[in-house]
C-alpha cells in the first residue's frame, strides 16, 4: 500500500504547541503556539518587534529547531530536516556574502521545481543585473534576488520574512502580484511577515498575530476588520453603550468619551441617543488587537 506524501497545497500545516527557549536574557521566543495554516492560502504573520515572527518562520523553514512541540502537514509529523524541501525562504537583511550571482543562481536552479520564466520576470521587475557580486547589489536588489529565487524555486511553501522591506513601493506591489499569481495558479501556501500592515490587508486571507512569543490572533482578515468598534459621545451614554464589551482603549475629552471596544462576535444593544459608532480601519484594528493581548502576554519573549 502506497502512502501519498503530504502536500501543503492540499493539506493544512499544523503548528502543535511550538516553543523556542534561549538560555540567558532572551528567554522564551515562542510559547505553546498552536495554529492551523490553511493550505493554498496567503497568511500574514504580524506582530510588534520581538513578538516571535522570525523565530516561527525559521522553525517552519527547517532553519531553526523548536524546543517544544512540532509541525505536521495533513496530520503527518514533519521533522526539522524534512521541512527544507517544502519551503523557499527570503529573509530581510539577507547576508548573501561575496557569492557571484551566477553561482548563487546555479545553486537555486538545482531545486526540482525551478521555473526560469518566473525568475526572469521578477529579475526584470526588480531591476536585477545579469551578473556581479551579490554584496555589491543595493539593499533592494539583494532583497529582490532572494525573493525571485524563492518564488522561482517551485517550493509549495513560500516564506517572505520582511525581505520586501528593502523594495520601493512599485517593486513591493510587483511582488504582491507575483504572490497572488503563485497562490492562484499553483495553489502555493504563502506566509509573509511585514511591518507594512496596511499593504497586507488586500493581499492576505488569514492572519497570525503574535505578541511576546504567544499567538494572540488566528483569524480571517474580515474578522479583524469587524472586531473592534469606536464609540464616541457623552461619557455616561458611551459607557452605557459599551456595557458588557471589553474596553481596549479609552479617552476622555471633557464631557465626551471615546471608547474602543472588542466585539469578538458580540452584538451591541441599540445605541443611546448622541452616541456615534464606527469600525476601526485595518491598521487601527491590528493595533487594538495587540493592545488587547498585552495583559495576557508576558514581556520576556524575544524574536
Identify any residues that bridge with 234 across adjacent strands, giving them in sequence order.
256
pLDDT tier for residue 292 given thresholds of 50, 70 and 90 = confident
Provide the mean pLDDT of the chain. Answer: 89
Please report which confidence band the pLDDT of residue 41 belongs to, taking 50, 70 and 90 as the band edges.
Answer: very high
Question: Are 27 and 125 part of one and the same domain?
Answer: yes
Span 157-211, pLDDT tens digits? 999 998 887 888 899 998 999 999 999 988 999 999 988 898 899 899 999 999 9
Domain identity same for 188 and 267? no
Q: Are residues 118 and 192 in the same domain?
A: yes
Provide Rg for the chain, Cα atoms.
Answer: 22
Least confident of 31-40, 76-85, 157-166, 241-250: 157-166
Residue range 209-229: mean pLDDT, rounded:
94
Distance, in Å, from the CA atom of 64 to the CA atom of 110, rounded to the nearest integer, reads 23
Tell me which of 188, 205, 222 is where a domain ends. 222
Closest CA to 30 of 13, 45, 8, 11: 45
pLDDT digits (tens, 9 = 90+) for 78-106: 999 999 999 999 886 666 667 889 999 99
Q: Are residues 244 and 131 part of one domain?
A: no
Q: Which residue, among 229, 232, 238, 243, has the nearest Cα to 280 in the 3D structure? A: 229
Q: Which of 222, 238, 258 is the last residue of a domain?
A: 222
- Domain membership flag for residue 46: yes
- Cα pseudo-dihedral 56, 60, 61, 62, rounded to 10: 100
Domain that holds residue 183: 13-222
195 burial (CB, 10 Å; 0-12 / 13-18 / 19+) is middle
Same domain, yes or no: 193 and 285: no
Shared domain check, 211 and 271 = no
Query: Which residue matches cell numbers 520582511?
Result: 162
Residue 296 in this model has a pLDDT that exceeds 80: no
Q: How many H helices and E strands in the chain? A: 10, 14
The reply to whether 302 falls in a domain is no
Residues 56 and 117 both lie in one domain: yes
What is the 8-class DSSP label of residue 165? G
Residues 117 and 201 placed together within one structural domain of the fold: yes
Q: Tell me which of 193, 222, 251 is where a domain ends.
A: 222
Are residues 127 and 264 both part of a single domain? no
| 252 in the same domain as 209 | no
Q: pTM higher than 0.85 for the full model?
A: yes
Evaluate the CA torsion angle 297, 206, 44, 288 in order and state its sign. Answer: negative
Return the pLDDT at 150: 92
Q: Please, what's the largest Cα pairwise distance for the chain?
A: 74
User: Tens of pLDDT along 52-77?
Assistant: 999 999 999 999 999 999 999 999 99
Cell of 122: 521578477
* 37 lies in the same domain as 111: yes
Confidence of residue 265 (pLDDT cuts 50, 70, 90): confident
C-alpha cell of residue 214: 504567544
298 has a pLDDT exceeding 70: no
CA–CA–CA angle 64, 22, 197 (5° rounding)? 65
Domain tally for the chain? 2
Q: Give the Å distances, CA to CA, from 115 to 86, 111, 144, 181.
A: 16, 9, 16, 14
Amino acid at each position: 500500500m502506497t502512502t501519498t506524501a503530504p502536500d501543503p497545497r492540499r493539506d493544512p500545516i499544523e503548528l502543535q504547541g511550538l516553543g523556542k527557549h534561549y538560555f540567558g536574557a532572551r528567554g522564551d521566543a515562542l510559547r505553546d503556539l498552536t495554529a492551523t495554516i490553511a493550505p493554498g492560502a496567503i497568511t500574514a504573520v504580524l506582530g510588534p518587534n520581538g513578538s516571535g515572527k522570525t523565530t516561527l518562520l525559521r522553525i517552519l523553514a527547517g532553519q531553526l529547531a523548536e524546543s517544544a512541540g512540532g509541525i505536521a502537514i495533513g496530520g503527518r509529523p514533519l521533522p526539522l530536516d524534512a521541512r527544507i524541501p517544502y519551503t523557499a525562504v527570503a529573509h530581510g537583511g539577507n547576508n548573501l556574502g561575496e557569492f557571484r550571482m551566477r553561482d548563487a543562481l546555479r545553486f537555486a536552479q538545482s531545486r526540482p521545481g525551478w521555473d526560469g520564466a518566473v525568475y526572469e520576470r521578477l529579475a526584470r521587475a526588480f531591476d536585477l543585473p545579469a551578473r556581479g557580486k551579490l554584496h555589491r547589489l543595493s539593499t533592494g536588489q539583494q532583497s529582490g534576488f532572494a525573493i525571485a529565487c524563492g518564488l522561482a524555486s517551485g517550493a509549495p511553501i513560500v516564506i517572505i520574512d520582511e525581505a520586501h522591506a528593502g523594495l520601493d513601493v512599485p517593486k513591493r506591489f510587483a511582488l504582491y502580484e507575483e504572490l497572488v499569481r503563485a497562490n492562484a495558479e499553483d495553489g502555493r501556501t504563502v506566509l509573509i511577515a511585514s511591518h507594512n500592515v496596511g499593504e497586507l490587508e488586500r493581499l492576505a486571507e488569514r492572519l497570525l498575530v503574535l505578541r511576546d512569543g504567544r499567538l494572540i490572533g488566528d483569524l480571517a482578515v474580515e474578522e479583524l476588520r469587524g472586531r473592534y468598534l469606536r464609540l464616541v459621545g457623552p461619557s455616561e451614554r458611551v459607557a452605557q453603550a459599551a456595557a458588557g464589551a471589553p474596553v481596549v482603549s479609552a479617552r476622555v475629552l471633557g464631557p465626551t468619551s471615546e471608547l474602543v471596544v472588542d466585539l469578538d462576535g458580540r452584538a451591541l444593544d441599540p445605541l443611546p441617543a448622541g452616541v456615534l459608532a464606527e469600525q476601526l480601519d485595518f491598521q487601527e484594528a491590528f493595533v487594538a488587537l495587540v493592545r488587547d493581548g498585552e495583559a495576557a502576554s508576558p514581556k520576556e519573549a524575544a524574536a
